[in-house]
Amino acid sequence: MALKPPLMDLPIATAEKGFYRGFSIDVTIASKVIISAIVVWAIFWPTQSGSVLNGLNSFILANFAAWYIYCVAFFILVCLGLALWPTAGRMNLGLEGDKPEFTNFSWFSMMFGAGIGVGMLTWAVAEPVSHFASNPETIQGLSTGGDADNVRNAYKWSFLHWGFGAWACYAVCGLSLAFFSYRRGLPLTIRSGLTPLFGTALSGVLGTVIDIVAVVATILGVAQTLGFGVDQFVAGLTRIGIGGLTDDTGGASTFGIIVALLIIMGASTLSALSGVGKGIKWLSNINMVLSIILLSFFIIFGATWFGFNAMFVGLWDYVTALPGMSFNVFKSDGVEGSEAFLLAQWQGWWPVFYWAWWIAFAPFVGLFLARISRGRTIREFVLGALIVPALMCFVWFAWAGGTAIDLELNGGANGVIFDAANGDKIFAMTEFMLAPINVWLAWGMALLIVVLLMTFLVTSADSAVLIVNTINAAGDEGPKSRPHILFWGAALGLVVAGLLISGGTSAIQTAMVIGALPFSLVMVLMCVSLIKAIYNDGRREAAGVATLTDPDEAFVAPAE
């Protein structure tokens, strides 16, 4: 049977006039209704919403923990396989002669800033410290929490959560979207990644449902990031002398949450209005430079040798243990307090939570990666998106987290860092290091961290707003989407505010784990679809059948 050319036309119905001109009415309105309902429910019925969300979360952790673990392991294998597969590796994510739009520095900066950057300022210190106190090895009695023999375990697990698994989630989603949009001329939206499996049926209800799931997952995933960031932003503002933003427990007050979100979402909306090539690009470059300055401080003036050892020994431990950690599922015996129960509980708190977070984040980061990666080969994309940002995360964890652990073990911190709230740990650490030298140095470092945190938060939020609008507009980023940027900027801020006020970051975490579940299935299908497409394109090329769209009909992002 003769090979047929691939599907290169996927019509998506959009409004021709009115406020929603150029937008898919079904996707846009359904997404807005779902997100609005979550906001209203969380704010006006906090007790009921908290109870229902916790019940659903418990059900998912009890029944789908293994699914999340195996999904992410599958994504890592797909990425590595595509990079090594000759047919796939050489394919260009674009048409013949297409070259990358952005330099490698800007590409890595935008990738890191939108994908994970904001988490570094909280978790690069907080997570190694947390795993230093407790991890599966301490639960099984193989090491002692808080002792020097547990440092390597702390880094092994920290690297697992922020390493190749996280970036594999982003890479498979971004690669699928770039492949089908820039080689086949299909809309830059999630449903296009499933065309080899479902064909033109994706123009109808099935495609609409897929895009709605992606929008909801994106909003909840970014809300999780902003929720952590708002707590830390308020802690930072307090450290530099702006009072009245915390409550009696030292956490962010309702007023503090509102002030932080007004600043962050206001700046992010303005940046989003300027587009990827202007505001987001420049913000990403700025936060990369500030990140290098802050990281250099920890490397030079922090625990230099401790961090060096944590980086390379931790990387070795992580890579050698990765197969086992990626596929191991702890099963609870139902006996509260037993070793099996505690191990399963720990896995739900950490790996399962992170895998859900990265999956929920994947439609946003994946579509953003696709948008900035046109003209790169599949091998270049996979290795660049999988390895470079992961190594950057490892460097942060090694020297920022390593400095915190070393100061507590050997530097006389005596709990100043360990006892601080997660978002405040980096501020407590820099103050402990610099205040004895000069209090203004400590204040200046706190200010630098606050500015860096804000640029990361704004980059994540404005990128998310643009991506949501792109999905709603059937892959089009044109000027017509700008009025809706204001809506989604406000909606994202209200989701974060509503869930934080009603139940804190745990409420956002629960909603995000639930929202990520349906999109995890979409991502698995995207992997299968991509592999099928590349295999068939290899056969088509050998048979002389066209695999690229006509340049005149290819998807081109409108001028910013």
Residue 14 lies in a domain: no
Tokens 């440092």 sit on residue = 151
User: Would you say 399 and 311 are in contact if contact means Cβ atoms under 8 Å apart?
Assistant: yes
Tell me which residue of 529, 551, 531, 540 sits closest to 5, measured CA to CA: 540
Residue 293 lies in a domain: yes
Number of domains observed in the structure of the chain: 1
User: Would you say 560 and 275 are in contact if contact means Cβ atoms under 8 Å apart?
Assistant: yes
User: Would you say 511 and 38 are in contact if contact means Cβ atoms under 8 Å apart?
Assistant: yes
Residue 310 lies in a domain: yes
pTM: 0.89
- Give the 3-state secondary structure percentages of the chain, helix then strand then coil, rounded to 5: 75, 0, 20
pLDDT band for 551, please (50, 70, 90 cuts).
low
Dihedral pair phi/psi, residue 277, rounded to 5°: -75, -10
User: Would you say 149 and 137 are in contact if contact means Cβ atoms under 8 Å apart?
Assistant: no
**Which of 90-99, 171-180, 220-229, 531-540 has the weakest average pLDDT?**
220-229
Q: Quick: pLDDT tens for 321-332.
A: 999 999 999 988
Give residue 343's identity as a one-letter amino acid code: L
Best-predicted range by mean pLDDT (33-47, 210-224, 449-463)? 210-224
Averaged over 9-27, what is the pLDDT? 88
Write the DSSP string, 462-480. HHHHHHHHHHHTTT--SGG
Question: Structural domain of residue 125, as residue ranges?
Answer: 25-540
Q: Could you give the CA distance from residue 273 to residue 462 in angstroms, rounded to a whole number?
A: 8
Residue 9 lies in a domain: no
Partners of 21 in the β-ladder = 15
Question: With helix as H, strand as E and coil as C, how does 54-100 read?
Answer: HHHHHHHHHHHHHHHHHHHHHHHHHHHHHHHCHHHHCCECCCCCCCC
pLDDT band for 45, please (50, 70, 90 cuts).
confident
Question: What is the number of other CB atoms lying within 10 angstroms of the CB of residue 377?
Answer: 19
Residue 235 lies in a domain: yes
| Cβ-Cβ contacts under 8 Å for 310 (sequence gap 6 or more) | 128, 151, 155, 397, 398, 399, 401, 402
Partners of 15 in the β-ladder = 21
Q: Quick: pLDDT tens for 466-498.
A: 788 888 888 876 655 667 777 887 888 887 777
Here the CATH number for the domain that contains residue 486 is 1.20.1740.10
Residue 428 lies in a domain: yes
* pLDDT at 232 > cutoff 60: yes
Residue 534 lies in a domain: yes
Residue 495 lies in a domain: yes
